[in-house]
């Protein structure tokens, strides 16, 4: 798995050897950042929930994000994220939290421009997490939430003040993008 663009373009990322982690494919990451760039969505402060390998947050840092927080419950994955960040010399622009997403949402206080969610495809609480996230202090005034999920999981068109503005399908993967304060 490689970084697609930016200062770390072409650099390889390590990933955990266990099979429960499903890293974002280069196709999905490329599509996500292409959509964000085409819509002029600012990507300065990033929150990468269910980080796995950290590929989404690291890609954002490579493309110029000023800061990224990574949240992952698996300690082995967190070690890999930290190693990837160190190898790419991005440790002064990021922090890795070993925590459940729900717990991290209770102690993180920053408002983010873009929040990535790439939960395991069998995660049963995605709707609940989105509902809670959209009313939390983690969303900045013009925040964007990007959710990578299975095509077998249907997400709502609205979560509080957030409306789905784009949905793209790539095989079994669906990318749903939500913006705050978008009118119908």
* Residue 125 pLDDT greater than 50, yes or no: yes
24 pLDDT band, cuts 50/70/90, is low
Asked if residue 42 has pLDDT above 80, the reply is yes
Nearest to 104, CA basis, from 149, 137, 140: 137
Q: pLDDT class for 105, splitting at 50, 70, 90?
A: very high
The CA distance from 129 to 103, in Å, is 11
C-alpha–C-alpha distance, residues 116 and 146, integer Å: 5
Residue 144: its H or E element: strand 139-150
């Amino acid at each position: 798995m490689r970084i697609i663009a930016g200062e770390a373009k072409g650099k390889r990322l390590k990933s955990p050897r266990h099979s429960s982690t499903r890293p974002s494919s280069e196709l999905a990451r490329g599509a996500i950042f292409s959509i964000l760039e085409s819509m002029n969505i600012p990507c300065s402060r990033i929150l990468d929930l269910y980080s796995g390998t950290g590929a989404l947050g690291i890609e954002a840092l490579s493309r110029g994000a000023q800061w990224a927080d990574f949240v992952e419950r698996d300690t082995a994955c967190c070690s890999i994220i930290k190693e990837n960040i160190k190898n790419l010399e991005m440790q002064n622009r990021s922090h890795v939290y070993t925590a459940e997403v729900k717990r991290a949402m209770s102690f993180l206080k920053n408002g983010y421009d873009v929040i990535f969610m790439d939960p395991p495809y069998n995660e049963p609480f995605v709707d609940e997490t989105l509902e809670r996230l959209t009313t939390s202090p983690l969303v900045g005034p013009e925040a964007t939430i990007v959710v990578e999920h299975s095509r077998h999981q249907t997400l709502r068109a609205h979560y509080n003040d957030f409306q789905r503005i784009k949905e793209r399908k790539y095989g079994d993967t669906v990318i749903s993008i939500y913006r705050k304060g978008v009118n119908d």
